[in-house]
């Protein structure tokens, strides 16, 4: 199947997050490539209800929480 997609908002939803299949990919750490588990996320939202900057901050925060999974338990 596909690796990425764009979730479609259905009324009365104002936002929806799509979680794609995770995969091990090479990631540059500043010195060399290292294997890293990557989880693509797609967030769609209704711009009439949610400001794009707020949605971008949510995406960044959610990514940081998933990076350090111990934060989920707090």
User: Annotated catalytic residue: which of 1, 11, 12, 47?
Assistant: 47
SS (H, E, C) the chain: CCCCCCCCCCCCCCEEEEECCCEEEEEECCCCEEEEEECCEEEEECCCCCCHHHHHHHHHHHHHHHHCHHHHHC
> Is position 5 annotated as part of the catalytic site?
no
Q: Which active-site residues does the annotation give?
A: 47
């Amino acid at each position: 199947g596909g690796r990425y997609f764009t979730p479609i908002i259905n009324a009365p939803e104002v936002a929806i997050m799509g979680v794609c299949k995770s995969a091990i990919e090479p990631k540059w750490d500043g010195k060399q490539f290292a294997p890293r588990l990557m989880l693509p996320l797609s967030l769609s939202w209704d711009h009439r209800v949610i400001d794009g900057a707020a949605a971008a901050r949510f995406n960044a925060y959610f990514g940081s929480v998933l990076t350090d999974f111990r934060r989920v338990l707090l």
